[in-house]
Amino acid sequence: MNVPLTTTLDIDHDAPVISREEITIDAPGDVVWNLHTDINSWPSWRPDVNRAQLVGPFAVGTAFHWQTAGLDITSTIAQVVTGSRTIWGGPASGIDGVHIWEFTPHDNGTVVRTTESWNGDPVRANVTALQSALDASLQVWLRNLRDEAVRRAHTDAM
C-alpha cells in the first residue's frame, strides 16, 4: 500500500529539529548505494532497526515500513536520483520527518551526507532531547553504513 506523499524535495527549514551529518566511506559508491536502498536488509546491519519492509520498488511514491527506537514508521520515497540522492519522509507518532541522503564519489570511496528535519507537536514540546536523539541516530546510522559497506567491499574484493 502506498501512502500519500507528504514530503517535498527538501527538508523543512522551519522545523525546530534539523540534523546534518557526513561520513567518508572507503567503499565504492555502488556498494554504499545498494546497502542504502536495500531497505529489507537494514535489520541485518543496523542493530537499532527491528524490522524494515519496502512495499514495492525503491522508487518515488513507494512506501516502506520500519521500526526503530520504539517507533513504527511509514516513510514514502519522494526522490530517487540513482547512485547520488534519495529523499523520503512521513509522519511517525506526531513527528513529521523529511530525510535527504546524498552520495558523492571521493578518491576510492564515497562521501555520504544526510540531512533530516523533524517537526510536529512532540518535537516542539521537547526540542533539546529530540535534537540530541536525531543527531545520535544519524551518527550511528552512518557508522553502521560505513562499517557494513567496508566489510562488503573487502569481502567482494577477495
Domain membership flag for residue 53: yes
Residues in the chain: 158
13, 39, 51, 88, 94 from 4: Cα distances, Å: 21, 19, 22, 12, 16
Q: How far apart are the first and last CA of the chain?
A: 40
The answer as to whether 4 is a domain residue is no
| pTM score | 0.91
Is 6 contained in some domain?
A: no
| Chain centre distance of CA 110 | 16
* 75 falls within a domain: yes
Quote the domain boundaries for residue 24: 17-157
- For 119-153, what is each residue's pLDDT tens digit? 999 999 999 999 999 999 999 999 999 999 999 99
At 8, the pLDDT band (50, 70, 90 cuts) reads low
Q: How many domains does the chain have?
A: 1
3 found inside a domain: no
Residue 78 to residue 101: CA distance in whole angstroms: 12
Any domain includes 2: no
Question: Which residues of the chain form beta strands (DSSP E)?
Answer: 17-25, 49-54, 63-68, 71-81, 85-92, 95-106, 109-119
Taking the CA atoms of the chain, what radius of gyration do you get in angstroms? Answer: 15
Domain-embedded: residue 9: no
Is 109 contained in some domain? yes
- Kindly give, in sequence order, each residue whose CB lies less than 8 Å from that of residue 154, ignoring residues fewer than 6 positions away: none
- CATH number at 79 reads 3.30.530.20
Contact partners, residue 46, CB within 8 Å, separation at least 6: 68, 141, 144
Whether the per-residue pLDDT at 3 is higher than 50: the answer is no
